[in-house]
Amino acid sequence: MRRVNIQEVAKEAGVSPSTVSRALNGFPGISEKTRERIVEIARKLNYRPNYRGQILTTQNTKNIGLLITDITNPFFPELVMGAEEYASKSGYTVLLGNTSESEEKETNYLDFFSRGPVDGIIISASRVSNEHIIMLAEEGLPIVVINRILEHPKISYVSTDMEKGGYLATMHLLRLGHSKIAFINGPKHSEVSQRRLEGYKKALKEAGIDYNSDLISFNVPISESGYKEAIKLLCTGEAPTAIFTYNDVMAFGVIKAAKELGIKIPEELSVVGFDDIFFSSFTDPPLTTIKQFKEELGRMAVELLFKLMGGERESLLIEPELIIRNTTSRR
């Protein structure tokens, strides 16, 4: 049996294909009378969207799209677990998109989700532009962003206070007597990277220490980056006495580099990570880090999405916590 397409429904209804799409997806800006007529014509023609036609009868797929950048980073499984746990209690399924730090993949997933198989999207990805997110939101798609401050009447966010996290890490090292503190940061385009850098700068300024851009690098947030940047820093004539990294995984690379170079941690080099992933307490020595409440971020993102789907916008900023273990000591 031949499948009826959206253009045929539009022709029969005397409207554009985009109007048909908006009507069947429950988007605003269409009168109830027009919506009902389009739905009736779609039923009559036996039109079924790719997501099995659920929205024709229920206006609700019971699916949530969740976009993350790197499933191999232990930060994300905990976030996903929190989101899935909360969603499942309300009868929702989480459809996961892993982009592997690819802008093309992020765009493709968002385009797929926006075509209708989900009731809303949670975005924990760094490369998709604010403009793209706003465009989707203004088309009527409920969106919550994680760890991105995006002020828009149709978008909610939940984020760790990244500037506070950068400040806490740097101030901890300053109070231990360190003045030459390197920061192995994440991607330069990332809002998270920039906000943590602002916290780093703020702590230095309060301590009366000049900002030195030579101690800052921007990288893909993986252990290899931490390792390579640490080798560069520690093999210079004036090596830093402390290194703060964008995440714990990069800190693992720093620890490996220090061990290979015969540099003792924390006696000769202090290291602070970010995230407090599960493995951080099992490194040798256990890693001092900034804790993000990862499961809570996932749970709150789903809760905020449900509120947004009900017409209520709310955003939250979550305080990070300094976790002091054994990779930092007094200078």
Tokens 């400040």 belong to which residue? 167
What are the structure tokens assigned to 115, written together? Answer: 């075509």
Query: Which among 320, 318, 276, 322 has a CA at the least distance from the CA of 297?
Result: 318
CB 144 within 8 A of CB 301: yes
Neighbours of 267 (CB within 10 A): 8
Cα separation, 168 vs 247, in Å, equals 14
61 DSSP assignment: -
Cα separation, 261 vs 282, in Å, equals 21
Query: According to the model, what pLDDT value does residue 57 have?
Result: 45
Q: What is the rounded average pLDDT of the residues 126-144?
A: 89
Q: Tell whether 1 is covered by a domain.
A: no
Same domain membership, residue 69 and residue 42 = no
What are the structure tokens assigned to 148, written together? Answer: 């991105």
* pLDDT tens digits, one per residue of 275-289: 999 999 999 999 999
Query: According to the model, what pLDDT value does residue 55 have?
Result: 46
Same domain membership, residue 311 and residue 299 = yes
Q: Tell whether 100 is covered by a domain.
A: yes
Give the three-class secondary structure for 91.
Answer: coil
| Owning domain of residue 23 | 6-58
Q: Tell whether 330 is covered by a domain.
A: no
Query: Which among 292, 264, 265 has a CA at the least distance from the CA of 277?
Result: 292
Q: How many domains does the chain have?
A: 3
The percent of residues in the chain predicted with pLDDT above 90, rounded, is 73
Which of 23-32, 101-110, 216-225 holds the top average pLDDT? 216-225
User: CATH number, domain at 151?
Assistant: 3.40.50.2300
Q: Tell whether 326 is covered by a domain.
A: no
Q: How confident is the model at residue 22 (pLDDT cuts 50, 70, 90)?
A: confident
Q: Can you spell out the DSSP letters for 7-51?
A: HHHHHHHTS-HHHHHHHHTT-SSS-HHHHHHHHHHHHHTT---TT
Same domain membership, residue 89 and residue 45 = no
Which of 39-48, 131-140, 197-206 holds the top average pLDDT? 197-206
Q: What is the rounded average pLDDT of the residues 186-195?
A: 94
Same domain membership, residue 112 and residue 174 = no
* pLDDT tens digits, one per residue of 89-113: 999 999 999 998 888 899 889 888 8
Give the three-class secondary structure for 302.
Answer: helix
Q: How confident is the model at residue 164 (pLDDT cuts 50, 70, 90)?
A: very high
Same domain membership, residue 36 and residue 10 = yes
Q: Tell whether 324 is covered by a domain.
A: no
One-letter amino acid at 309 equals M
Same domain membership, residue 300 and residue 154 = yes
Query: According to the model, what pLDDT value does residue 1 have?
Result: 46
What are the structure tokens assigned to 324, written together? Answer: 């002091």
* pLDDT tens digits, one per residue of 228-278: 999 999 998 889 999 999 999 999 999 999 999 999 999 999 999 999 999
| 318 vs 136, more confident | 318
66 DSSP assignment: E
Q: How confident is the model at residue 51 (pLDDT cuts 50, 70, 90)?
A: very low
Same domain membership, residue 298 and residue 286 = no
Same domain membership, residue 204 and residue 227 = yes
Same domain membership, residue 150 and residue 107 = yes
Query: According to the model, what pLDDT value does residue 265 have?
Result: 98
What are the structure tokens assigned to 192, written together? Answer: 């998270």
Same domain membership, residue 275 and residue 173 = yes
Cα separation, 70 vs 303, in Å, equals 23
Same domain membership, residue 230 and residue 211 = yes
Same domain membership, residue 128 and residue 76 = yes
User: CATH number, domain at 46?
Assistant: 1.10.260.40
Q: Tell whether 331 is covered by a domain.
A: no
* pLDDT tens digits, one per residue of 287-328: 999 999 999 999 999 999 999 998 999 999 999 999 999 999
Instruction: List residues bridging with 123 in a β-sheet.
Output: 67, 145
Average pLDDT, the chain: 92
> Which residues does 196 contact at the CB level (< 8 Å), separation at least 6?
162, 163, 165, 166, 183, 185, 186, 246, 274
